[in-house]
Amino acid sequence: MIPVTKPFMPNREKLDQYLDGIYERKWLTNNGPLAQELTSRLEEYLGVENLLLVSNGTLALQIAYRVLGINEPVNGKPAEAITTPFTFIATASSLKWDGIQPVFADIDPETWCLASKNIEAQITQQTRAIVPVHVFGNACDVETIDSIAQKYNLKVIYDACHAFGVKYQGESLLKHGDAATLSFHATKLFHTGEGGAIIFKRKEDLERAKKLINFGISGPESIEELGINAKMNEFQAAMGLCVLDEMEANMAARYAVWDSYERELAGSVQLQKKSEDLYYNASYFPAVFECESVALQVAGLLKQNGILARRYFFPSLETVECLGRKDYQPVSHDIAGRILCLPIYAGIEEKAQKSVIDVIKLCLAKGRQR
């Protein structure tokens, strides 16, 4: 079976060296030396400041909400945050979990990111923040979103879980917003098994977040506020350091797969329109088909041939009952119904890539003959 993705597994000998050090020090968590080293190296690699490692990407979002105060009720009612319905469930469920009502605004039909032109119509007295997503690593309209946020005094938290290493206009895309969050889940381009990070615009927000991820503790005998346990442990950091050492090879392998798909399929499927002046990370290869029935036929035929493609993102989140908002978002609903993410990971064989392409072309050819 060819999976849609595989975790990148770094050099085992190097990982064992880090693990030997953990066993010798017996310092397993609480900002250990490997977590400190990974923080420093990631800031340098990504070209950012004020980076905080956390235990997963969902908690990264929730800590950012708390630090920036957007979870606090407004006029005795839950705060609202405007976000996209075309994203992984955690973007919206993390808001709802923290007592913030996600309010959906539709996406751009070509970039698939939150359409900035749709944001202002959703702003109310309850709105505290905008939570856009750099979908598949594509840059949102950061300039317009920043302008809207300033006009209405809103915070901006970017879900940047797909945007590791992405550069926009020559600088890290992660520099935009009051905070940007990353997921280091095993399936991501860069991973720590599980894990995540927050990049804050302001140093004071970073310092507060450091306390929040450690139960609100500010010293051996001092607890300043309500916190939670969201720290990254040393085993996660060890994996991250090893993966980071091999990032260039990992990305080069993904680029080769991405280029192969694009070359063979560009005329047959709709591809995501990238923002101008974007250095992309080739972390996903999403393809949008003519209609939902074709997408399902392609997925079914791929599966029959031992290939897994994923309907990512599906469903459009305004249809998810537990999120509490059912305002129909036609573009998101349409794209979600027609999209498949194709297998892409370092180590996928050329033969497997060819099988993916051949099956899709065969399925599309059969459809045209009907």
Task: Round to whole Å and give the CA distance between 182 and 21.
Answer: 27
Helix count and strand count (H, E) for the chain: 11, 14
To 10 degrees, what angle do helices 12-25 and 33-46 make?
A: 140
Residues linked to residue 85 through DSSP beta bridges, in sequence order: none
Distance of alpha carbon 173 from its chain centroid, rounded? 12
- Of 34, 154, 150, 159, the C-alpha closest to 93 is 159
Task: Round to whole Å and give the CA distance between 122 and 318.
Answer: 14
- Could you give the angle at the alpha carbon of 42 between the alpha carbons of 40 and 46, nearest 5°? 125
Decide if 215 contacts 209 (C-beta within 8 A). no
Residue 354 one-letter amino acid: K
Using DSSP bridges, classify how beta strands 217-219 and 127-131 pair: parallel, antiparallel or unpaired: unpaired
Radius of gyration for the alpha carbons in the chain, expressed in angstroms and rounded? 21
Measured in degrees and rounded to the nearest 5, phi and psi for residue 176 equal -85, 150
H helix or E strand, kind and range, residue 339: strand 339-341
| Token reading at 272 | 């995501």
CA 101 → CA 77, 98, 129, 309, distances in Å? 10, 9, 11, 32
In angstroms, the first-to-last Cα distance of the chain is: 29
What one-character DSSP code corresponds to residue 233?
Answer: P
Task: Round to whole Å and give the CA distance between 54 and 69.
Answer: 19
Residues marked as catalytic: 188
| Token reading at 78 | 């839950």
